[in-house]
Structure 1
Amino acid sequence: MTVPLPPLPPTVEDEEYRPGGRDMVELLTEEHDQIVALCAELTDETATERRSQVAQILTATVARHLSGEEQYLYPTVREALPDGAALADREIAADSELLRTLRELGGTAPEEPGFARLVAELTGGLRRHAETASKEIFPALREVASTAELIRLGNRVEIAEEAAPTRPHPGTPATPPWNRVVEPALGVVDKVRDAVSGRQTYVEDLTPRPEA
């Protein structure tokens, strides 16, 4: 095994064994594409009500995504890649800035002057985040990790994201073991607030765009 993984129950000793689930690199790449697409809707050409809904869903989507990466992607990068520690530290610091911007965006209405500035800042940061992953991190991980390892990590990322916060919490621990304790606890609180307020948090909740 080349990549550090959480303990697992015994499995068949077969090098060709492929566990069920999604490859972490494929999963996170798809999420990056989804996030960038959401950013593209936060322009003046989009109706105010929809921009508000998209911003709300983008916030929850990014919060879950970053939580999953910090719990499993970056620890793997840190241990498996030659320059992994510096790379992980750099990306975690950038994530904190993204969360701070998301938190500020959450308190700004689309019609307010600062909204466009925050969207531009957030979009630039998220595009950089996705590009760094696609060019620096993911190709390097594919060189050192087996398909089975990446699928097992992908399964853990999906579980972590489902339990993750739906709001930005930039001051919380960003590395294991404490983030794996704190994030699910904050996730419970956020989900209760979402249920009480009727807040939408998934891309599937977006109302269809009106026909042109």
Structure 2
Amino acid sequence: MPDTDTPVTPGPEEDVVDLLLAQHAQIEQLFLLVVGGTGDTRRDAFDDLVKLLAAHETAEEEVVHPLARTLPGGGGDAMVDDRLDEERQAKETLQTLIKGGVDADGFDTGIVLLRDAVLTHARYEERYEFPQLRQHVPVDRLRSLATAVRAAEASAPTRPHPSAQSAKGNLAAGPVLAVIDRVRDAVRKPADS
């Protein structure tokens, strides 16, 4: 079984695209554990999935998407707007699943629909956004962006917040939401044990 608790750590030669691709693979593994798991294994995998998705999308919204908007060719805005719409829909679905919990009626259907939407979103990034980044952004900048993504993830909320879905929104509300989420997580952890 993969170690899903250990975050993907960028190496000195890893760039932001490598990091995000590794996280996409980790997200896919977590979905497998949630869909195929039961009891505490399922619950723990879902909690890990929620935290990774929240941090991953926040970092993309703060670091990657703003850069993608500036890429030559004029398609950056439409490409990013499509990805943001997909992310907003996924966050809304994820919020519903969180509220009900893994034992709720409809969770099985909801998690499969979320998985399909998230993995389709990831494939669009991999097919359209990431190649554009690699083509137009210098390698050293892509490497430094891996560090920027890590920093954004460290201060990101641990739950989805569809209303904070832009670089400005995340930077303004993200730290406050992150504190609230982390307090909520700390309070729930002993109760769940």
TM-score range, shorter chain: 0.7 to 0.9
Matches within 5 A, 1:131-150: 131-150=123-142
Per the alignment, residue 54 of structure 2 pairs with 63
1:60-107 residue CA offsets vs partner (Å, 9 max, x unmatched): 110000000000110011011420000111100110011011111112
Maintained 8 Å contact 1:22/1:155: no
Between Structure 1 and Structure 2, which shows a larger proportion of helix residues?
Answer: 2
Maintained 8 Å contact 1:72/1:156: yes
CA distance in 1, matches of 2:54, 2:99: 16
Structure 1 position 142, deviation (Å): 0.6
Maintained 8 Å contact 1:39/1:123: yes
Per the alignment, residue 51 of structure 1 pairs with 42
Query: Quick check: which has more Rg, 1 or 2?
Result: 1
* 1:186 has 2:177 as partner: yes
CA distance in 2, matches of 1:21, 1:71: 22
Maintained 8 Å contact 2:71/2:132: no
1:29-87 residue CA offsets vs partner (Å, 9 max, x unmatched): 111100011001122x4222211111111111100000000001100110114200001
Maintained 8 Å contact 1:21/1:154: no
CA distance in 2, matches of 1:182, 1:21: 32
Query: What's the C-alpha RMSD, in Å, of the aligned pairs?
Result: 1.8
CA distance in 2, matches of 1:194, 1:35: 20
> Counterpart of 2:47 in structure 1: which amino acid?
Q
Gaps of 5+ in 2: 1-11
Maintained 8 Å contact 1:81/1:141: no
> Counterpart of 1:63 in structure 2: which amino acid?
A
* 1:197 has 2:188 as partner: yes
Per the alignment, residue 90 of structure 2 pairs with 98
1:133-187 residue CA offsets vs partner (Å, 9 max, x unmatched): 2111111111101111101211111100010000111122x22333212112211
Alpha-carbon distance change, 33 to 81 in structure 1, aligned in 2, over 3 angstroms: farther
Q: How does the TM-score come out when normalised to structure 1?
A: 0.79
Task: Point out 4+ residue stretches in structure 1 off by more than 6 angstroms.
Answer: none
1:89 is paired with a residue whose SS is: helix
Q: How does the TM-score come out when normalised to structure 2?
A: 0.86
Structure 1 position 111, deviation (Å): 3.2
Matches within 5 A, 1:8-157: 22-43=14-35, 45-82=36-73, 83-157=75-149
Q: How many residues align?
A: 179
Moved more, 84-93 or 187-196: 187-196
> Counterpart of 1:78 in structure 2: which amino acid?
R
1:112 is paired with a residue whose SS is: coil
CA distance in 2, matches of 1:77, 1:42: 32
Alpha-carbon distance change, 175 to 57 in structure 1, aligned in 2, over 3 angstroms: same
